[in-house]
Structure 1
Amino acid sequence: MISSPPSRAKQLLMVYQLVMNNFLAIVAVPVAAFVLLRAAQLGPSEFLVRLGEVRRVHLFLAVFVPFAVAVLHLMRRPRTVNLVDYACFRP
């Protein structure tokens, strides 16, 4: 007879599933926080000067790639299934 895994293994499995299910948020939130903190340290005038030095292609990719990743993430998620009981339905 196969016994159930120990509680430590169950906890590790739950942590692993939590990290893998929320990997995009785990990576995106610290990166966004770092970028916002750096932009806040520069000040508005220096930020605009540095933004003007960036090539348009890089600026486009900086906006498009995270948006595309978010859309793909939302499309790949399993859809919710709502079951409706028609036992009390009268035509």
Structure 2
Amino acid sequence: MSLSRIMKFITGGSEAFLGIPFVGGAFVLSTSWGALFVMFIAHLVTLIIARKANGSMAGSILGMITSFVGVIPVVGMTMHIITAIILLVDAIIHKQ
């Protein structure tokens, strides 16, 4: 399994956790929004790895955007769920 695929599974799973109503929001608030900063860095690392592997970068780019809008309660939850789906589907269908 490639590093790009592993990172997409990790970031996708983390986004899925953050998208859980109340639980994800409580986690983000308990870290004083530090979780969103960590996720931004994780998506940036995944983007760089995917770019070097000539893989899809869309999920990582969307994840970076999600890290910024994640501070808006309902919009953030929705974006976390959408980003998780995109990253996990991409990791599953990844052929390398």
TM-score of the two chains, using structure 2 as the length reference: 0.35
TM-score of the two chains, using structure 1 as the length reference: 0.36
Q: Which has the higher contact order (CA 8 A, sep 6+)?
A: 2
Is the helix fraction higher in 1 or 2?
2
